[in-house]
Structure 1
Amino acid sequence: MKYIVIGLGNFGSTLSTRLTAIGHEVFGVDNSLEIVEQLKNKVTHTICLDSSKPGALNSLPIQEADQIIVAIGEDVGASILTTALLKQHNAKSIISRAINPLHQTVLESIGIETIFNPEKIAAEQFAKQLELSGVLESFDLSDHCSILEIEVPKRYLGRTADNIDFFSTYGLKLIAVKRYETKKNIIGMMSKFASVNMNLDPEHEFDESDILVMMGNIKDFQKMIGSDL
């Protein structure tokens, strides 16, 4: 897919390099030449321009982009102006970052449906990692149901999949087992790639390289993890 990421601060630069690493074509845009130069070997394309100025966006492949992410952080005015200009260019899909409720309200008023706050998302995930030892990633399906990526509890290392019934014991559903391997990406850089096994062999023996992808209630995760503490 083709992405345009506007604003290459901590969040935007991480997003751009990650999307590039997993094989997408990314146009990273920032008004700082220094930042653009730092990322030129990590992102497919880097462009220095002020996206809040009329006419500046004409050099970008807006119509060809599958998604455009406005990741501008502290400069709320630049974020709003950039988003409004993208709307004028009839961009297919615009995702904008909001740093406070007022910022979000303004973005909603100009017709942006997908708005995110990376600080809030990161804080919620970090709180879950602090609460539950071994949690690597989390996604909430509802107030009572989450999908977590979690390290294999120590007491299950060396045991086979058919020897453990997570659902009967804890009410947790094992969806898949994930592992990472390092190999070259599309631009020749060494990156980590995940392999996900959703059809687990009953004879699969869990080891420390396995990451369990599980679904259930946080209280049930606490019961399973707490047994190892």
Structure 2
Amino acid sequence: MQFAIIGLGKFGKSVARELYKLGNQVVGMDINEKKVEQCSHFLSASLILDATDKTALRELNIQEFDAVLVSIGESLESNLLCTLNLIDLKANQIWAKAKNAAHHAILSSLGIQHIVRPENDMGILVGQSMNCPSVTHCIPLGSDLFLIHFLVQFQTTITLGMLKKRYKDIVITAIQRGEQLISNPDDETEIHRQDHLLIIGYLNNLRTLTGELNKIQNEI
């Protein structure tokens, strides 16, 4: 797959490096020449480019990339101008970094579905993990939706149907049980000790779910 990373600060650089390690074609760009040079060794291509210039993005054929991340963090205006350019050029799957809640709201009003607030999202993960060590991953999906990875550390006969009935608006997309991956498990599937659950839901619902599961584990 081909990805474009616009803005090569700490966050953009980290995402670009990980995508490249996963075997993807990654093009990184920044208006700062020094940042571009620092990332050139792990990018498929690196460009000194002003992403607020729509013509420059058009000449790059930005709409041909599978996804684009706007990781411009220093200037809110530049971040939004770049995002508007990408929307106008019909770029595929736009991801954007938000500096704060107000910035997040503006991006959301523009129709951006994949919005990331690195410090906020990492804070949620750390808080979830400290409160409930069974939560090993917490990934933002946008619009207050999160994907969590929960390790069941107690013996139970609870079924997925029972969980869904008690906790509204959560989806258990898969269960990793030893070497077996159960995709789209049905409501009759029982949860076993040492199951790894992949759960999607709104943050408040997930907080309630993990809080009660953690309480069960602590009582055993």
Q: What interval of TM-score do these two structures reach, taking the shorter chain for normalisation?
A: 0.5 to 0.7
Residue 133 (structure 1) shift = 3.0
Deviation for aligned residue 1:30: 1.1
> How many Å separate the matches in 2 of 1:32 and 1:140?
28
In 2, Cα distance between equivalents of 1:147 and 1:97 = 20
Separation (CA, whole Å) in 2 of partners of 1:220 and 1:99: 32
Point out the structure with the larger helix share.
2
Aligned-pair CA distance for 1:7: 0.9
Q: How does 1:56-205 map to 2 (within 5 A)?
A: 56-133=56-133, 135-138=135-138, 147-150=148-151, 165-167=155-157, 175-176=175-176, 197-198=180-181
Kindly report structure 1 stretches of 4+ aligned residues shifted beyond 6 Å: 171-174
Q: Distance in 1 between matches of 2:91 and 2:177?
A: 38
Moved more, 12-21 or 42-51: 42-51
1:213 aligns with 2:205: no
Shift of 1:9: 1.2
- The code of the aligned residue for 2:131 comes to E
Residue 146 (structure 1) shift: 6.9
- Are the aligned partners of 1:5 and 1:26 in contact in 2 as well (CA < 8 Å)? yes
- Tell me how far 1:6 sits from its aligned partner: 0.5
Tell me the residue number matched to 1:43: 43
Give per-residue Cα distances to partners, 1:55-108, cap 9 Å, x unaligned: 332442312111111111131011011112222322233222222233234334
* Cα displacement string for residues 112-148 of structure 1 (whole angstroms, at most 9, x for unaligned residues): 343332222211111011112364313589x9x9742
Give the superposition deviation at 1:224. Answer: 6.2
Structure 1 counterpart of 2:190: none
User: Alpha-carbon deviations, 1:140-182, whole Å to 9, x = none?
Assistant: 89x9x974254x96xxxxxxxxxx84445xx99991158xxxx
CA distance in 1, matches of 2:73, 2:18: 18
Q: What TM-score do the two structures reach when normalised by structure 2?
A: 0.68
Unpaired runs of at least 5, structure 1: 154-163, 179-195, 200-205
* Alpha carbons of structure 1 residues 90 and 147: separation in structure 2 relative to 1, 3 Å: closer
Q: Which has the higher contact order (CA 8 A, sep 6+)?
A: 1
Q: Partner of 1:72: helix, strand, or coil?
A: coil
- The corresponding residue for 2:202 is none
2:52 equivalent to 1:52: yes
The DSSP-based 3-state class of the residue aligned with 2:50 is coil
Residue identity in the other structure for 1:213: H
Q: Distance in 2 between matches of 1:87 and 1:72?
A: 16
- 3-state SS of paired residue (2:63): coil
Q: When the two structures are aligned, how many residues end up with a matched partner?
A: 187
Establish whether residue 2 from structure 1 lines up as the match of residue 12 from structure 2: no
- Is the Cα contact below 8 Å between 1:67 and 1:94 reproduced in 2? yes
SS of residue paired to 2:64: coil
Rounded to whole Å, the distance in 1 between the matches of 2:129 and 2:58 is 43
Q: State, as a whole percentage, how many aligned pairs show the same letter.
A: 27
Any stretches of 5+ residues in structure 2 without a counterpart? Answer: 164-171, 183-192, 200-205
8 Å CA contact retained: 2:96, 2:116:
yes
